[in-house]
Amino acid sequence: MKNLDSKSHVRGESVYLDDIPVVEGTLYACVFDSPVAHGKLRSVNTDEAASAPGVVRVITANDLIGENQIGGILPDEPLLANGEVHFCGMPIAVVLAESDEQARAAASLVKAEIEPLEAIVDAREAFAKGSLIAAPKRFKLGDTEKAFESCAHVFEGKTRSGGQEHLYIETQGAYTLPSETGGLRVFSSTQGPTAVQKAVASVTGIPMNLIEVDVTRLGGGFGGKEDQANAWAAICAVSTQLTKRPVKYSLHRMEDMRMTGKRHPYSSDYRIGLDADLRIVAYDVVFYQNAGASCDLSLPVLERTLFHCTNSYFIPNVSAVAYSCKTNLPPNTAFRGFGGPQGMFVIESAIAHAADALGVDRDEIQRRNLLSSGDELPYGQIVESEAREAWSQADSVYDFATLKKEADEFNKTGGHLKKGVAMMPICFGISFTKTPMNQARSLVHVYTDGSVAVSTGAVEMGQGVNTKIAQVAASVFGISIEKVKVHTTNTLRIANTSPTAASAAADLNGKATQIACEKILERLNEVAAELELESWPPVGTGSGGDRQIGPPEGETPNWVELVNEAHLRRVNLSEHAHYATPGVGFDWSVAKGHPFAYHVFGTAIVGATVDCLRGTYEFDYVKCCHDFGQSMNSAVDRGQIEGGIVQGIGWMTIEEVVYDSEGRLRSNALSTYKIPDVYSVPDEIAIEALETTRPNLAVFNSKAVGEPPLMYGIGAYFAIREAVKAFDKENLPAFDAPFTAEKVLMNLHRS
């Protein structure tokens, strides 16, 4: 089953925010943002901008009717700077003009008098100065202090991992229209329609029931539009409220890169203790997260770093502390993996450190410490593990020993090319770690012509969630998928949504859709029984799997007839269903609980070739064995894995977010911030399914697949590192990601 949007995508007929036909009278917004990372905002002079051609109005913080606040978790994020500026790119004023060009030209005429204050750009510096977003978070299992005393080997060190620009190809944007009741219709490129609705309500003072947020699809999100779409929608909303005119703002790339947050950079300290058998007995880790200037989603990101700080390994004694450090960078935010990758990079580094020091292979330590079912994770959940199964399947299917041997043989030939091979197991928890967010609703209408309309809280951004939801409806009803349309995500149809995030949208919204369809089906079954229809029902419910969708002929016998008959009998053909993940919960007062519905496991083998003359590298392969549960859409899931791997490799290698010491973004365009192109991807990506039959809480047992594969990309770092070590075995590169060509070359030729 292909992504249902494929055809309109390739014909260029899919509609994104900037493609929505513009209504007469529309104004265009452009933000004037702070050129200074930290300072006192003495005055803002908008006179010249206001009298520029086409300008209708210039808005500053004082003009807001509602609250100047869009912080979703903590109320620490003003929409427009007032009194102080906290990062380069912080919006100060909004220029509204008759054309996009006029708005842009006028925005450059706004003058702000800013008295600079000291800017902090580094997390450890912020920590040293006591600049924290909130109190630290801690996980504790066993007794590390005692455990370290008994360890045969103890190693400690530091790691760093860099930020990552989302680089959704569609930039952020919003378009708001006034409605006759004083409300607003908001089109937004957002993963969180309800978050946008709340932000708009906050800054306008308009109640949520008068704010309709509608999302057709996104040209990519990756977490960057989970919370950070709010500001642009809020800016347009305020502008519409004040001018009574439609207002559109579609950001230019450099504005987007400059004004929005990214993946959180981390700096971390680790201490790892092993016994004589290479079992990890104790692990002590301190994370310093660079949160940027306000909380945004930094705290839940920080929490997930803790949740994944031991990756796929069982460690009986763990002490983990995480500090969210407040700096003068744009507020960093969600990005595929949500803090998990940053946590995993540290434990993988600690293991590599131990392996180097002990003269053993890194994979030897990894393998000996994999999780088994029944093991306790540092946060108290007892894991149902597939870690060992995934590892051994990858090991045997791809013949890891031979891959390593081939690399060793190659490296003996003495040319300037060196190969490195690395294993990378993953374990990723599925569910929002904030338990109340694990709920969703679905609205299903069956029409008298037999067609079906579904609305949920899930946002389609390329991950295929709408396709999976349509599969659920088609499968439950036993009808052809062509009869099902999944409609835009709209806050009037589906209220109080959780953002499309945490890899959980298909599970939550798919399950809600399943419930809604099953309720309608139950009523249809009753009608069928009364009619004594012979061929009804033709297909069992809830069977799942793209192989099982729909009857062979594509039409269910009697479907239309039955639907019509039900309608004549005044049977309800609509359902609004609610799903809440059962059994999940977490108690932060003791930092223990069962936060995840299930975990996703897998193991990848990454092979790299480093050109030791030039410091450049290529990836020969990524071969993974991935835990799909039972995939309901193998085409979509494969795409998620390939895309996730490449994004993860990008984070670990060429993607380098660079701020200068004044907090100005230097990697501020596609010419200076490089994401993988067609030539930087591995020559081969092999995917082997670990088909697990154990029942789980995934929709149709098809496990979430959005985020986990990104973390296979961490293996790329260690594969390069192995190759660098092969060039000079005394050479032990620091754990400092991304491993850019510069770092590779500087490591290779230190003298």
Partner 1 sequence: MLRFILNNQTVETDLPSGMTVLDFVRYHKNLKGTKIGCREGDCGACTVLVGELTDGEVGYRSMTSCLMPLANAAGKHIVTIEGINPADGGLTPAQTALVDESGTQCGFCTVGFVMSLTGYSLSGGERSGETALSAIDGNICRCTGYKSIERAAKRICDLQFAICNSTISAAEVAGSQIDQAISTGTVPNYFESIGERLRMLFTEDSNRKLKIENRKWMAGGTDLYVQKHEEMVHAGAVSLFDDPSLRFINETADSVEIGPSVVVTDLLESEVFNRLFPDLYRHLKLVSSTPIRNMATLAGNFVNASPIGDMTAWFIALGARIELRDQFSGDERTIALADLYLGYKTLDRRDSEIISKITFGKDFTHFNFEKVSKRTYLDIASVNTAISLKVSDGMIERALVSMGGVAPTPLLLRKTSEFMTGRPFGHETFAAAELLIQDEIVPISDVRGSAEYKRLLARQLFRAHGLAVSSEQ
Q: Hey, which residues between 432 and 471 contact partner 1 (CB under 8 A)?
A: 461-464
How far is the CA of 743 from the CAs of 124, 161, 736, in angstroms? 22, 13, 9
User: Tokens 């069977």 identify what position?
Assistant: 543
Residues 6+ positions from 518 with CB-CB distance below 8 Å: 476, 541, 542
- Which among 2-10, 61-69, 74-82, 503-511 is the span making contact with partner 1, rule CB under 8 A? 2-10
Cis upstream peptide for 116 (omega within 30°): no
Least distance in angstroms from the C-beta of 646 to partner 1: 3
Pick from 280, 335, 274, 347: nearest CA to 309: 347
Distance CA 310, CA 300 (A): 17
Instruction: Give whichever of 343 and 676 is closer to partner 1, judged by the CB atom.
Output: 676
Query: Which residue among 303, 460, 656, 707 is the active-site one?
Result: 707
> Of 99-128, which residues contact partner 1 (CB under 8 A)?
101, 104-105
Among 175, 222, 232, 718, binds partner 1 (CB under 8 A): 222
Instruction: Give whichever of 225 and 483 is closer to partner 1, judged by the CB atom.
Output: 225
User: Tokens representing 109?
Assistant: 């005429």
> Of 558-617, which residues contact partner 1 (CB under 8 A)?
613-616
Instruction: Give whichever of 127 and 739 is closer to partner 1, judged by the CB atom.
Output: 739
Least distance in angstroms from the C-beta of 681 to partner 1: 5
Least distance in angstroms from the C-beta of 454 to partner 1: 20
- The answer to whether 19 contacts partner 1 (rule: CB under 8 A) is yes
Q: Give the three-state DSSP class for 279.
A: coil
**Going edge to edge, which strands form the sheet with 484-486?**
484-486, 452-456, 439-446, 574-580
Instruction: Give whichever of 164 and 393 is closer to partner 1, judged by the CB atom.
Output: 164
Residue type, 81: A
Distance CA 568, CA 113 (A): 70
Instruction: Give whichever of 463 and 556 is closer to partner 1, judged by the CB atom.
Output: 463
Least distance in angstroms from the C-beta of 538 to partner 1: 29
Among 220, 223, 420, 595, binds partner 1 (CB under 8 A): 220
Residues 6+ positions from 62 with CB-CB distance below 8 Å: 82
Distance CA 389, CA 119 (A): 49
244, with CB counted inside 10 A (0-12, 13-18, 19+), is exposed
E runs forming strands in 683-746? 684-691, 735-736
**H or E segment at 645?**
helix 634-652
Q: Give the three-state DSSP class for 20.
A: coil
> Of 637-696, which residues contact partner 1 (CB under 8 A)?
638-639, 642-647, 654, 656, 658, 666-667, 669-672, 674-681, 685
Instruction: Give whichever of 154 and 681 is closer to partner 1, judged by the CB atom.
Output: 681
Residues 6+ positions from 566 with CB-CB distance below 8 Å: 523, 524, 527, 573
Here's the x/- map for partner 1, 162-191, by CB under 8 A: it reads as ----xxxxxx--------------------
Least distance in angstroms from the C-beta of 643 to partner 1: 4
- Which among 119-127, 214-222, 448-456, 500-508 is the span making contact with partner 1, rule CB under 8 A? 214-222
Least distance in angstroms from the C-beta of 16 to partner 1: 6
> Of 265-284, which residues contact partner 1 (CB under 8 A)?
none
Give the N- to C-terminal CA distance of the chain in Å, as an integer. Answer: 56
Q: Is 376 a catalytic residue?
A: no
Least distance in angstroms from the C-beta of 596 to partner 1: 25
- Main-chain phi, psi angles of 449, to 5 degrees: -90, 5
Least distance in angstroms from the C-beta of 585 to partner 1: 34
- The answer to whether 30 contacts partner 1 (rule: CB under 8 A) is no
Residue type, 460: E
Instruction: Give whichever of 98 and 361 is closer to partner 1, judged by the CB atom.
Output: 98
Instruction: Give whichever of 74 and 746 is closer to partner 1, judged by the CB atom.
Output: 746
Residue 82 DSSP label: B
Instruction: Give whichever of 114 and 329 is closer to partner 1, judged by the CB atom.
Output: 329
Least distance in angstroms from the C-beta of 642 to partner 1: 4
> Of 354-413, which residues contact partner 1 (CB under 8 A)?
none
> Of 716-745, which residues contact partner 1 (CB under 8 A)?
740-742, 745
Q: Give the three-state DSSP class for 301.
A: helix
For the chain, the maximum distance between any two Cα atoms, rounded to a whole number of angstroms, is 87
Among 42, 129, 252, 405, binds partner 1 (CB under 8 A): 252
Q: Do the beta carbons of residue 294 and residue 85 sit within 8 Å? A: no
- Which among 11-19, 36-44, 350-358, 366-374 is the span making contact with partner 1, rule CB under 8 A? 11-19
Distance CA 312, CA 685 (A): 22
- Which among 97-105, 343-351, 361-369, 544-552 is the span making contact with partner 1, rule CB under 8 A? 97-105
- The answer to whether 501 contacts partner 1 (rule: CB under 8 A) is no
Q: Are strands 317-326 and 280-292 parallel, antiparallel or unpaired?
A: parallel
Q: Do the beta carbons of residue 644 and residue 336 sit within 8 Å? A: yes
Among 18, 384, 399, 561, binds partner 1 (CB under 8 A): 18
Q: Do the beta carbons of residue 17 and residue 174 sit within 8 Å? A: yes
> Which residues are annotated as catalytic?
707
